[in-house]
Structure 1
């Protein structure tokens, strides 16, 4: 039980800017529980986002969307956005594999990284705006960060690292497919109350398989940046799914 609690705290330290004023042990068991707690931390983030959206129901949808997106980025400290920018710079360089890895390690942000950041946040903001304007039930906002973080867990566990070093590789040594399944437990429990979440789970699974194939093809494996980028990409993927879903649901037969 102690390791499970430490695992949740470790996940909070890695995934959020929430201050955790204790030293969490870095052990095999706490690392496993931390990864299993990734979607749980996502649910916490999603719960805060949903509360803000609920409290701003009488505020114009664009303002609410911007507030939700700002809080979303602030809670994670932009950690995963850094991975998106690094990958964009590496791929945009059109360089050989070894050079792409060097570019990913460079702390400087290039033009492709900035473009990826702007368009990612713009798309997330506009899709949030659209869903809020449709007055979609707010359970979707609860689930987005949770499923996005499960996507990161699935990629980390099920895809070999390109190099036998780094944080992602050290975590990977203590994980197995069982941890991917256990990480899904809180999402499955909520899906019993909202069966539509099953479709979201299947969609995220397809996304993880696609990203896994791309990372193996383009980089011969993954690193921590790619796990973070998968979290961001998974959230955007789900926003597009949900927008398409409610767009179809709100179009009348005569409005085609």
Structure 2
């Protein structure tokens, strides 16, 4: 139980900017539990943003509420996965040979492709949040969206090998297997029983992760931390799009 508690705190420290004033040991056991807690941390982030949205929904016009929720969403995660998205965009946009793409991804400087990816990604997220709220969806839809996106990131870690024997992705993978993915999926998938359109969310996420995994393996030979972070951002966008489609065309 101690490893599970430390692992959960590690996941919160790694995936959020929420204060956790505890020094957690970095061991294979705590790493496994941290990975298993990824979806729970996503659900926590979604719940915090949704709680604020519920409180402010009667007070703010929908466009401002959507922008506020997106701003809080980014702030709570510290922009961690957006950094991965930007690095991936610069590497892919370069059209350079493989070794040069890896060098660009590791470069701390931000290029034009990174800026474009960030702007359009956040614009799409804000627009979809606005559309979801305008369609009558509850802000609490963000809980399954954030939880499943992080489960998708874990699926990528388990299913696609690291391109190089270095970095965070490789370190996490040394402790992970299919059993960890199954355990991580238990709580979020059980909770989805009560979410309308949950099957579409799961199917869409699985399809996105499979296609994304094949694409990055072809482009880079495997994954690294930036590629996993970008997958979480892409997963959230994909799930928001599915949720909006459900509310607009099925629930209407």
**TM-score scaled to structure 1, two decimals?**
0.95
In the alignment, is residue 246 of structure 1 matched against residue 252 of structure 2?
no
- For structure 1, the residue ranges without an aligned partner over 5 or more in a row are 252-256
CA shift at 1:131, angstroms?
Answer: 0.5
Between the aligned partners of 1:181 and 1:55, the Cα distance in structure 2 is 35
SS at match of 2:194: coil
Aligned to 2:27: 27
CA shift at 1:250, angstroms?
Answer: 5.9
Aligned to 1:43: 43
Aligned to 1:73: 74
CA shift at 1:192, angstroms?
Answer: 2.4
CA shift at 1:171, angstroms?
Answer: 1.0
Residues 123-157 of structure 1: per-residue CA shift (max 9 Å, x gap): 00010001011111334211111011011100011
SS at match of 1:23: coil
Between the aligned partners of 1:31 and 1:50, the Cα distance in structure 2 is 28
Between the aligned partners of 2:198 and 2:5, the Cα distance in structure 1 is 27
**Paired residues, what number?**
251
Give me the CA root mean square deviation.
1.1
Residues 47-67 of structure 1: per-residue CA shift (max 9 Å, x gap): 111111111122100011011
Between the aligned partners of 1:121 and 1:167, the Cα distance in structure 2 is 25
Checking the alignment, whether the CA contact within 8 Å between 2:17 and 2:78 is kept in structure 1 is yes
Report matched runs for 1:74-93 at 5 Å. Answer: 74-93=75-94
Q: Kindly report structure 1 stretches of 4+ aligned residues shifted beyond 6 Å.
A: none
**TM-score scaled to structure 2, two decimals?**
0.97
